[in-house]
Amino acid sequence: MLDLAANAATRFQAISETFDASTKRHLNALGVTTGWRCLEVGAGGGSIARWLSERVGDNGRVVATDVDIAFLDAIDRPNLEIRRHDITRDPLPPAAFDLVHTRMLLVHLPEPDAVLKRLTSALKPGGWLVCEELDGAADVTLKTYAAMRRLRQDSGTDPRYGRRLFERFRSLGLTDLGAEGFVTVAQARSPVAILLRASFELRRTAMTDAGYITPDEFDADVARIEAPDFMMPSPTMWTVWGRRP
């Protein structure tokens, strides 16, 4: 089992710097405003939960959940509730939220479709579901990246789930559907490169123990990421949105 706390601060900061601007743009476009009730599932480092709490104001409310709330507890806002919660088994209040948002959550779960149904049931009629998930099918020559994808598949998760999101939303009967893919370029010391390296390091032991990569190959890929001339396209982050009828 992965020790997800091992380099969490590094990963959360890199995720925030890479994706927060795009996330906020999408949520703004849907009209998130004063008085909304919002649910942020898998809130991680809390950057979007904090922003939502500012956006909905004193008359609104944000519930931020995660299995590990260590980074969320530091956020002190009167309209923000922090809740330790496992979305795969713990209940959610039905028809309670104007917005339910997740980012980089479903791709790590063995039964993401079941979780999507739970998230949808937590929406008020007319409420928005917004999910942002990676499609791991990037054109990458790093052996460690291929090993990481294989490890995820072995765990029963789908590293390409992001590309399937739109169809899943449609199958749930959501309306006003939309989708957009975000790709950037990883360069040495860029936030996305830092995130890539942190993701590798988190899984190093598991990948080498499984024989998917040797320690020397791992070290060579890490050195490549740090090289001044390094560049590669990031995986696509798919943002999909839809409204409960």
What's this model's pTM, rounded to 2 decimal places? Answer: 0.94
| Residue of 55, 5, 46, 22 lying closest to 132 (CA atoms) | 22
Domain membership flag for residue 198: yes
Query: Do strands 175-182 and 236-243 pair parallel, antiparallel, or not at all (unpaired)?
Result: antiparallel
Its domain, for residue 198, covers 8-243
Q: Taking residues 126-141, what's their average pLDDT?
A: 86
Tens of pLDDT along 79-129?
999 999 999 999 999 999 999 999 999 999 999 999 999 999 999 999 999
Q: Taking residues 134-143, what's their average pLDDT?
A: 78
Q: Taking residues 146-164, what's their average pLDDT?
A: 91
CA 199 to chain centre: 13
Q: Is the model's pLDDT at 139 over the cut of 80?
A: no
- Angle, helices 47-56/8-29, rounded to nearest 10 degrees: 30
Q: Please, which pLDDT band fits residue 3 given cuts at 50, 70 and 90?
A: low
Domain membership flag for residue 2: no
Tens of pLDDT along 8-59?
899 999 999 999 999 999 999 999 999 999 999 999 999 999 999 999 999 9
Structure tokens given for 205: 């032991």
Q: Exposed, middle or buried, 78 (CB in 10 Å: 0-12/13-18/19+)?
A: exposed
Supply the pLDDT for residue 141: 76
Q: Is the model's pLDDT at 63 over the cut of 80?
A: yes
Q: Is the model's pLDDT at 138 over the cut of 90?
A: no
Q: For residues 218 and 90, what is the distance between their CA atoms, to the nearest angstrom?
A: 37
Structural domains in the chain (count): 1
Supply the pLDDT for residue 7: 83
Domain membership flag for residue 1: no
Q: Taking residues 155-178, what's their average pLDDT?
A: 95
Domain membership flag for residue 3: no
Q: Residue 224 belongs to a domain with what CATH number?
A: 3.40.50.150
Supply the pLDDT for residue 168: 97
- DSSP collapsed to 3 states, 104-173: CCHHHCCCHHHHHHHHHHCEEEEEEEEEEEEECCCCCCCHHHHHHHHHHHHCCCCCCHHHHHHHHHHHCC
Tens of pLDDT along 189-229?
999 999 999 999 999 999 999 999 999 999 999 999 999 99
Supply the pLDDT for residue 4: 55
Supply the pLDDT for residue 230: 93
Residue type, 215: P
Domain membership flag for residue 119: yes
Domain membership flag for residue 139: yes
